[in-house]
Amino acid sequence: MSDAIATLLDNNRAWAERMCEEDPEYFKRLSSQQNPDYLWIGCSDSRVPANQIIALPPGEVFVHRNVANLLHHTDMNALSVVQFAVDVLKVSHIMIVGHYGCGGIKAAMTGGECGVVDYWLHSVREQYNQHRSSLDHLPMEDQIDRMCEINVKAQVNSLCRTKILQRAWQRGQDISVHGWVYGLSDGRVKDLNCTITGLEQVETLYRIDRLHQGD
């Protein structure tokens, strides 16, 4: 075993012992059942730890992460997480959280050959192409940060166009979808004020009640 991995295991043992000393029932309580009110869909970046940023303990936040915090309708991994969170855990809030200076957003904007991730980021590149004329006057660093915000808003809309969310709203579930961006430089979360709380806020073209009426 490498020294680096051995250190991680030692750290784990020390942490588990410390938690038991501070709260002898901690792991018993944690292992009994998870009942979070929040689903966090964020970027895979190691500098953006969901629980720590919003100061909640393990068990309080259900988390899904991927490069550039995207919600593709063909991504069975993400959709499975969303369905479990909505239909089984009955979360009340879903936060889609980007972060300023996102490497995935930058890669989509600046081009180059990045391998398989290029396919994953194709939708971001299309977003950038659509907004490029309004961003060109900005320095590239500011363009990237602005695109991080634009991307989060797009993912909020994408999530709310899924049948998972819309059926939940139809049956009266109280779920809100929020768009946030995290600042690596100051640790602050910015609310982008794009929260969607019900089916009536989804564009008519994407609403399943419209589709059912047309059947």
Residues labelled as active-site residues: 43, 45, 47, 99, 102
Cβ atoms of 95 and 178 closer than 8 Å? yes
CA separation for the pair 160, 204 (Å, rounded): 12
Q: Count each helix (H run) and each strand (E run) in the chain, helices first.
A: 10, 5
CA separation for the pair 60, 34 (Å, rounded): 8
Please report the beta strands in the chain, taking only residues with DSSP state E, as ranges in sequence order: 38-43, 61-66, 93-99, 176-182, 189-191
- The single-letter code of the amino acid at 124 is V
Angle between helices 103-110 and 140-160 (to 10 degrees): 110
What does the buried/exposed string (b/e) look like for 62-82 if buried means 16 or more CB atoms within 10 Å of the residue's CB? bbbbbbbbbbeeeeeebbebb
Cβ atoms of 119 and 104 closer than 8 Å? no
CA separation for the pair 144, 199 (Å, rounded): 31
Q: Which two tokens stand for residue 161?
A: 């166009």
